[in-house]
C-alpha cells in the first residue's frame, strides 16, 4: 500500500506511453493510505451513488474556497454546462470566452444553443486579454467566462468593472484553478457560479469529477436539482426521510450529472491533504524557476504579486527569439523537435493547452482563421508544460532541466 511521501500512480497508463520508457511523466496522481481507506467506505455501506461522502466533499470544498455552497457533479464540463443552464443562457445569447483554453469552455456555451465569442489572450499570463474584452461585447452578450488557466487567476477587479459597466454576468471556469487566489480571495467566488474539475491532471482528483460553487441559495437549490434530473430532493435525502416510497417532484429539465459516493469519498480524502498538496506544488514550481533561471530560450510562468498560483501545470513558452506569427512555423518546428528529443530521454512534456480557435468545429462554424487570434495561436504552438506533481524529486527536476539544455539544438 502507498504511504504519504511515496510515489503515486503515473497519470499516463503503460499502454499509452509509446516506444520510449518514461522516466519523468507529465503528472502523477497522489494517493495515500487515507485515499485507499475512504474509497472503500461506500462499498462497505452499500450506498454507492451520491450520498454522505459527496455531501462531505461539498462542505469541505465550500469551506476551502470560501464559498457559501458547493454542488458536486461528474466533471468540469458538466459543471460548466449546468452553470450555463442555471444562468439562463440560451439561443441568441453571446458569451465571451478566451481563445486559448480547453475546448470544454466553449462547448458548454454551444450546449445551450448560445454563441461563444472568442477573445484573444495575454501571452504572459495565458489568460483572457483584459484590454480586448470590451471590444467583444455586443447587445447580445450575456456573460464573460474568465478561465484561470494553469492555476493563475485572472485580474478579477478589472473584469468585475467591465461586467458591471455593461450589466454582464461572470461565470468562472476555474477547472484548473483550485488553490488560485486573487488578492487573497479564492477563484470561483468572484463570479457566480464558479466551476472546477477533478480530472487526474488537476491538483486533487476523483478520477472524473467536478464542482460548482455559489453564494446564492436559490442558485444552489437550482444546481442541485439540475444535476439530478430536475428533482427537488436527492435520492439520499428522500431515502432518509419519511414517505421515502414517493418520488420527488421534477420542476426543471435536468440531467444525470451526479457524482458517485466512491468519488465523493476519494475527494474527501484528497481535500484532507489539500494544503500539503499545494505546498508541494508551489515548492516544486519554485524549484523549476530556480533551475531554469539561465535557460533563456524558455519563458517560465509568471505570477503577478496580487496572485497566488495554484500550479495546476508548469507551462513555459518556447521563445528563443521574439515570437510573432511570421516566426511561428519555424519556432513551432523547433519546439516540437525539443519535445520529441525529451520524450526519447524519458521526459514527458505537453503543449500547455490548445487554442479552441484552431479546432475544426469552431473554424468551420464561425469562419475563424488562425491569425484572428494570434496570441492563442502562438500559445498553442509554443507552450510546453513540464512534469509537475507533488512527489516529483529534486533529482527528477534536475534531470528534466538537464535534458532541456542538452537536447536544445538552437
Ligand atoms: C480550462 C478547462 N475547462 C474545462 C475543463 C473540463 O474539465 P473536465 O475534464 O473535468 O470535464 C478543463 C479540463 O481540463 C479545463 O482545463
Break the chain into its structural domains and give their ranges.
9-29+274-407, 33-272
Rounded CA-CA distance 198/208 in Å is 6
Question: In angstroms, how far is CA 182 from the centroid of its own chain?
Answer: 16
According to the model, what pLDDT value does residue 244 have?
A: 84
According to the model, what pLDDT value does residue 16 have?
A: 52
Ligand 1 atom at minimal distance to the Cα of residue 202: 14
- Residue from 11, 73, 77, 174 whose mutation best tests the ligand 1 pocket (most atoms within 8 A of CB): 77
Pocket around ligand 1: residues whose beta carbon is below 6 Å from it? Answer: 75-77, 101-102, 104-105, 147, 173, 175-176, 197, 199, 210
Count CA atoms closer than 13 A to 217's CA, side-chain side.
Answer: 0
According to the model, what pLDDT value does residue 15 have?
A: 44
According to the model, what pLDDT value does residue 366 have?
A: 98
C-alpha cell at 294: 539561465
Angle ∠(144,147,149) on CA atoms, nearest 5: 165
In the numeric block, the cell 539544438 is attached to: 409
Query: Residue 374's pLDDT band (boundaries 50, 70, 90)?
Result: very high
SS3 breakdown of the chain: % helix, strand, coil, rounded to 5?
A: 40, 15, 45
CA of 36 to the centre of ligand 1 (A): 25
Nearest alpha carbon, ligand 1 atom 8: 76
Nearest alpha carbon, ligand 1 atom 10: 76
C-alpha cell at 300: 517560465
- Residue from 98, 175, 315, 379 whose mutation best tests the ligand 1 pocket (most atoms within 8 A of CB): 175
C-alpha cell at 198: 477533478
Which tens digits make up the pLDDT trace of 303-319?
A: 999 999 999 999 999 99
Average pLDDT estimate for 370-377: 98
Note the CATH number of domain 33-272.
3.40.640.10
Cα-based distances in Å from 90 to 111, 164, 311: 9, 21, 33
- Residue from 84, 149, 176 whose mutation best tests the ligand 1 pocket (most atoms within 8 A of CB): 176
Which tens digits make up the pLDDT trace of 28-86?
A: 999 999 999 999 999 999 999 999 999 999 999 999 999 999 999 999 999 999 999 99
According to the model, what pLDDT value does residue 4 have?
A: 45
According to the model, what pLDDT value does residue 10 have?
A: 55
**Is residue 14 pLDDT above 60, yes or no?**
no
Which tens digits make up the pLDDT trace of 282-302?
A: 999 999 999 999 999 999 999
CA of 137 to the centre of ligand 1 (A): 25
Nearest alpha carbon, ligand 1 atom 1: 102
Sign of CA dihedral 237, 239, 244, 245: positive
Determine contact, residues 326/299, Cβ cutoff 8 Å. Answer: no
C-alpha cell at 54: 459527496
Rounded CA-CA distance 150/120 in Å is 16
C-alpha cell at 268: 474527501
- Residue from 109, 154, 199 whose mutation best tests the ligand 1 pocket (most atoms within 8 A of CB): 199
CA of 104 to the centre of ligand 1 (A): 6
Determine contact, residues 47/57, Cβ cutoff 8 Å. Answer: no
Determine contact, residues 301/310, Cβ cutoff 8 Å. Answer: no
Which tens digits make up the pLDDT trace of 328-351?
A: 999 999 999 999 999 999 999 999
**Is residue 1 pLDDT above 50, yes or no?**
no
Ligand 1 atom at minimal distance to the Cα of residue 353: 16
Which tens digits make up the pLDDT trace of 126-184?
A: 999 999 999 999 999 999 999 999 999 999 999 999 999 999 999 999 999 999 999 99
Pairing of β 169-170 and β 141-144 = parallel
CA of 312 to the centre of ligand 1 (A): 12
According to the model, what pLDDT value does residue 18 have?
A: 62
Nearest alpha carbon, ligand 1 atom 16: 102
CA of 366 to the centre of ligand 1 (A): 22
CATH says 9-29+274-407 is which class? alpha beta
Are 9-29+274-407 and 33-272 equal in CATH topology?
no
Amino acid at each position: 500500500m502507498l504511504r504519504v511521501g511515496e510515489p503515486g500512480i503515473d497519470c499516463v497508463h503503460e499502454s499509452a506511453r509509446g516506444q520510449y520508457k518514461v522516466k519523468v511523466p507529465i503528472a502523477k496522481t497522489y494517493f495515500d493510505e487515507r485515499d485507499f481507506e475512504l474509497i472503500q467506505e461506500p462499498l462497505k455501506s452499500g450506498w454507492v451513488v451520491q450520498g454522505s461522502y459527496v455531501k462531505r466533499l461539498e462542505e469541505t470544498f465550500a469551506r476551502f474556497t470560501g464559498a457559501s455552497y458547493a454542488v458536486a457533479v461528474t466533471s468540469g464540463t458538466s459543471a460548466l454546462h449546468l452553470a450555463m443552464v442555471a444562468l439562463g443562457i440560451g439561443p441568441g445569447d453571446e458569451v465571451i470566452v478566451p481563445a486559448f483554453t480547453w475546448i470544454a469552455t466553449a462547448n458548454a456555451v454551444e450546449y445551450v444553443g448560445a454563441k461563444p465569442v472568442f477573445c484573444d489572450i495575454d501571452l504572459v499570463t495565458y489568460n483572457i486579454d483584459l484590454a480586448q474584452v470590451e471590444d467583444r461585447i455586443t447587445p447580445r452578450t450575456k456573460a464573460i467566462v474568465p478561465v484561470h488557466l494553469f492555476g493563475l487567476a485572472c485580474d478579477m477587479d478589472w473584469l468585475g468593472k467591465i461586467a458591471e459597466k455593461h450589466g454582464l454576468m461572470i461565470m468562472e471556469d476555474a477547472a484548473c484553478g483550485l488553490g488560485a487566489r486573487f488578492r487573497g480571495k479564492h477563484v470561483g467566488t468572484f463570479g457566480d457560479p464558479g466551476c472546477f474539475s477533478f480530472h487526474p491532471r488537476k491538483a486533487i482528483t476523483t478520477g472524473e469529477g467536478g464542482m460548482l460553487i455559489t453564494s446564492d441559495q436559490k442558485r444552489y437549490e437550482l444546481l442541485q436539482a439540475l444535476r439530478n434530473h430536475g428533482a427537488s430532493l436527492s435520492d439520499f435525502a428522500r431515502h432518509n426521510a419519511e414517505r421515502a416510497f414517493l418520488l420527488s417532484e421534477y420542476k426543471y429539465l435536468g440531467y444525470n450529472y451526479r457524482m458517485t459516493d466512491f468519488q465523493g469519498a476519494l475527494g474527501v480524502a484528497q481535500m484532507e491533504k489539500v494544503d500539503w498538496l499545494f505546498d508541494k506544488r508551489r515548492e516544486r514550481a519554485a524549484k523549476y524557476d530556480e533551475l531554469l533561471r539561465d535557460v533563456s530560450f524558455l519563458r517560465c510562468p509568471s505570477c503577478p504579486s496580487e496572485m497566488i498560483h495554484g500550479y495546476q501545470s508548469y507551462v513555459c513558452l518556447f521563445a528563443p527569439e521574439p515570437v510573432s506569427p511570421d516566426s511561428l512555423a519555424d519556432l513551432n518546428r523547433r519546439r516540437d523537435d525539443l519535445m520529441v528529443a525529451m520524450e526519447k530521454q524519458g521526459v514527458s512534456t505537453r503543449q500547455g493547452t490548445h487554442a479552441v480557435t484552431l479546432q475544426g468545429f469552431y473554424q468551420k462554424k464561425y469562419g475563424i482563421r488562425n491569425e484572428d487570434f494570434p496570441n492563442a495561436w502562438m500559445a498553442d504552438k509554443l507552450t510546453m508544460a513540464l512534469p509537475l506533481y507533488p512527489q516529483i524529486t529534486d533529482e527528477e527536476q534536475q534531470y528534466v532541466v538537464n535534458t532541456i539544455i542538452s537536447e536544445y539544438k538552437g
